[in-house]
Amino acid sequence: MKIEILMNDWYGWKEYSVDEYIIWVKGYFLNNTHEYVLNSFATIISKSDKKLDELIDFCNTIRGHFAIIIYNKNQLFVMADKVRSIPLFYKYVNNKITVSNHSPILAKNINDKKYSPTAVIEISMSGYTIGKKTILSDIYQMNAGEFLLLSNKKIKTIRYYYYTPWKEKYISKEACKKELTKVSKSILLDMVNSAKGRQIVVLLSAGHDSRFIVSGLKELNVKNVVCFSYGDKDSFEVKIAKQIADKLSYKWIHIPLSIPIQKKSFLESVFDNYCDFSDSLSNSPIVMDYTAIKAIKYLNIIDSNAVFVNGNSGDFITGGHIFDFEHNNSNDSGVEAVLDRIIEKHYSLWECLKTEKNISNIRESLKESLIEIMNTFKLSDKDLWAVSESMEWLGRQSKFVTATQRSYEFFGYDWRPPMWDPMYCSGLTNLDTKIALYPSRGY
């Protein structure tokens, strides 16, 4: 079986050689050095036929946000992190597997392009596709918590990680606050250390997520911090953000934005380049921060090697997406009710597309994912609130929300999302248990 790697040499991607392997990697590791992680992977992959469990276990030990491709003539390993913060794509045609960090590269070599009508509808109605699909039938994407392994002429796609909020332990509110404070300080300190003294630029709004981050940085006495906000100068978000930055004695930058400013920005050729750069064939481009980051870059008002930090996705990890269920109403619980809620919440961008046929196709894909989770972990209907959270992680959060990082990369900046640290999603005291911050929600 032939292996082909087609890479765009974009910001952050680096190529290494370890023994007989070539390695492409982007991102950062918090609990070990690049050298240790890459050498360990090379060693384990060389004997992966006999040590698959060891490979899965090692994948789960890594903290950070990254994407990895490791290969030689006979073996291939492709890994997305636990939130798919950096997308990877592959196609398998005529006994050849091709991997790339940019899906349009793979599309160029397909003469007879076959579009997936279902994937097109999914993006149109929600902004992202379900599962491994892209809008081209022959091209697939790596999912969050997943790796692809080609060894001994066999291809396996293995999920090494699931977000499992049903694995809870209930502790007192006071004990929970202490645990949360402890782990939050640890996560923020690890993030600061990984920046290695570079300036930290925080997108600050009136929301609790970004306020939490800047407050934590102040608590840790981190001085080289700049906050920025964008939008109408009279908006409550901008006013509150300035108050917070002033209170913490951090420099604050305001980028004025309006509909005319945005329209002008989106008509420029550089925006076309951004759309090409962020094209994944599996989600719509995220343009929310684009114009503000462009202004910051061109005005030269932060350090050229600054690290951007945002609050994604604090609302998710604190239970903000859990559906409410009526316990005694059989029509308001169960699998079909969960699917109804997901479709209503995320697949309603265009009401004109909510036809019976489109909804039926989306429901079928979502149900397949839901049943897979329930069967894998032997769950019942009482766990459906948690299953819907796992689907939220695997769907909108990892396919759409994490794509906000692309605007930072496009303008040459590094980034860190501390609220996506796997310690929050896997547990505060160990990596096997999740603290239930809101035990009264759900069933």
8-state DSSP, 385: H
Whether pLDDT at 338 is above 50: yes
pLDDT in tens, 352-379: 999 999 999 999 999 999 999 999 999 9
Whether pLDDT at 168 is above 80: no
How confident is residue 86, by pLDDT bands cut at 50, 70 and 90? very high
Q: What is the mean pLDDT of the chain?
A: 90
Question: What would the mean pLDDT of 256-275 be, rounded to a whole number?
Answer: 96
pLDDT in tens, 58-76: 999 999 999 999 999 999 9
Q: Which helix (H) or strand (E) segment is 39 a member of?
A: helix 34-45
pLDDT of 9 reads 87
Q: At what angle do helices 208-219 and 236-248 cross, to 10 degrees?
A: 10
Give the DSSP per-residue string, 106-146: HHHT-SS--B-HHHHHHHHHHSB-STTB-SBTT-EEPPTTE
pLDDT of 73 reads 93
pLDDT of 138 reads 92
Whether pLDDT at 433 is above 50: no
Whether pLDDT at 255 is above 80: yes
pLDDT of 442 reads 27
pLDDT in tens, 110-162: 877 899 999 999 999 999 999 999 999 999 999 999 999 999 889 999 999 99
Question: What would the mean pLDDT of 166-181 be, rounded to a whole number?
Answer: 84
pLDDT in tens, 2-46: 999 999 988 899 999 999 999 999 999 998 899 999 999 999 999
pLDDT of 431 reads 35
3-state helix, strand, coil in the chain (%, to 5): 45, 20, 35
Copy the structure tokens of residue 13. Answer: 């991607």
What share of the chain has pLDDT > 70, as a percent? 93
How confident is residue 331, by pLDDT bands cut at 50, 70 and 90? low
Copy the structure tokens of residue 255. Answer: 């980028």
pLDDT of 380 reads 92
Which residue do the tokens 């400013």 mark? Answer: 261
Whether pLDDT at 232 is above 80: yes
Structural domains of the chain ordered from first start: 2-159 (3.60.20), 163-443 (3.40.50.620)
pLDDT of 325 reads 64
pLDDT of 437 reads 34
pLDDT of 158 reads 95
Nearest-CA neighbor of 207 among 94, 314, 110?
314
Cα(141)–Cα(218) distance, rounded to whole angstroms?
Answer: 39
Nearest-CA neighbor of 18 among 48, 40, 3?
40
Cα(361)–Cα(345) distance, rounded to whole angstroms?
Answer: 16
Cα(33)–Cα(40) distance, rounded to whole angstroms?
Answer: 11
How confident is residue 171, by pLDDT bands cut at 50, 70 and 90? confident
- Of the ranges 115-124, 125-134, 169-178, 197-206, which one carries the lowest mean pLDDT score? 169-178
pLDDT of 314 reads 82
pLDDT in tens, 96-114: 999 999 999 999 878 778 9
